[in-house]
Structure 1
């Protein structure tokens, strides 16, 4: 199936995975544990795609592989403030919108924004470069198919979205990692109104696009990925906060690069 013809199709695995991995305590990112990425496809019979899939994510976005397609058009997003919660899912920190937080439009199909979460270091690499952090904004269309927008970060000035989440969690000005570590691994914590428009994409709107998968079990395929080319900045303290908060502590929560297996990768413009 050619990527540009991908439509919004029913996918029952997508529906239960939007907010949580199948069992967030049954897999890790540490290979020595026996539950690391190389073993994901063997832990659960429903996770076979992690081992045998041919459209797996993340990938290396290598210039020599990229095809420029100007007709893809600018990334159309229409986000708006909505009530949200934050949850420590064990393998990441996730902000989940409970109301209508807006959408993006791909090939004429609207994908509603559901949640965002962070991986450190970045899962996708650009010409072999792995960055300090990667944000995933997860969207779903009316039939259940997923589209994920990804932004990568290098060390520098603090990220505005993470700074606002910090203030909304505790409402006082302390170091970020104290706030995020206070999020109970078993409970959602109310954030009040969170504006996804605070997430900066960069003015150029240049991006990569390809057809891939979820990067956590069950690694379901058919996910439309959009990776923003602009590299944003995040502070070391903010990355440390996210790493300390999850069960893995200072261990990475990034899946290794997966084979491209002949897939096309597009770039706009």
Structure 2
């Protein structure tokens, strides 16, 4: 999950916590501010001296990137899954939505100020704030890395985060994302770009709702833990042209998989 999760639209819709104000602040910064009283400021990247293996040294507030025990992303080994009959299938309550688009310097992000899209995980309701992309995928399945991954970032009224991860493979053109991927801003934006067409999130998700659930973290500094992760098993498709359009801006913006450290990966369906 990307660091620069915005806080836009709170003046228009009062979300659960201040996650959508007009400033281009982000969930990662909010998480650090909530716990330490100060915003994170250290620059980070996906390569070199500020790359993933250095994040924990860049700022004391990034310590979890190096010392955390429930870090994301992970490799989901199907042979190690725990079937939890009480887990229940996660529920989505999405509707066609007008998103705005930004380049936050680390990814392309689509912001939702409507407050009308939710998921339910383990009986708790989380409201969608934004979605963004990583290339290649961050989470893996049986060691397999996919062409990209989409993260839908939600927050509940207790301030907890839940991310729905959707793996992406090369294939047919994705009609729901056609306008977005034709207008990807090549440079970091100061203001969001408006999209003319709504995005039907229900049509965007894979038809097969098999999913994996685990306790994890943000996948960008400050790598805050306590994030509920749901990763769908079936990937969606983007055309090679769409993938290349993103790759021309962000050739590699993924964090490598992290140790499981004894965590359980749960599924609600028997295999």
Q: 5+ unaligned residues in a row in structure 1: which ranges?
A: 1-9, 167-175
* Distance (Å, rounded) in 1 between the aligned partners of 2:29 and 2:196: 21
Cα offset, 1:211, TM superposition: 0.1
Cα offset, 1:203, TM superposition: 2.5
Cα pair 1:150 1:227 within 8 Å, conserved: yes
- TM-score computed with the length of structure 2 as normaliser: 0.81
1:68 aligns with 2:83: yes
* Distance (Å, rounded) in 2 between the aligned partners of 1:145 and 1:119: 22
Instruction: Tell me the equivalent position of 2:212.
Output: 208
1:138 aligns with 2:153: yes
* Distance (Å, rounded) in 2 between the aligned partners of 1:115 and 1:11: 14
**Matched positions, count:** 242
Decide which structure has greater strand share: 1
1:261 aligns with 2:270: no
1:89 aligns with 2:107: no
1:55 aligned residue (38, 53, 70): 70
Q: 5+ unaligned residues in a row in structure 2: which ranges?
A: 1-15, 31-38
**SS in structure 1 opposite 2:158?**
coil
1:195 aligned residue (182, 199, 207): 199
Cα distance change, pair 131–267 in 1 and its aligned pair in 2 (3 A): same
For structure 1, which segment, 213-222 or 228-237, has the greater mean C-alpha deviation from structure 2 after superposition?
Answer: 228-237
1:161-215 superposed Cα distances (whole Å, 9 cap, x missing partner) = 321424xxxxxxxxx3xx3145653331122563342553223311000000000
Decide which structure has greater helix share: 1
* Distance (Å, rounded) in 2 between the aligned partners of 1:115 and 1:18: 10
Cα pair 1:82 1:98 within 8 Å, conserved: no
* Distance (Å, rounded) in 1 between the aligned partners of 2:41 and 2:109: 13
- TM-score computed with the length of structure 1 as normaliser: 0.82
Cα pair 1:101 1:196 within 8 Å, conserved: no
Cα pair 1:56 1:213 within 8 Å, conserved: yes
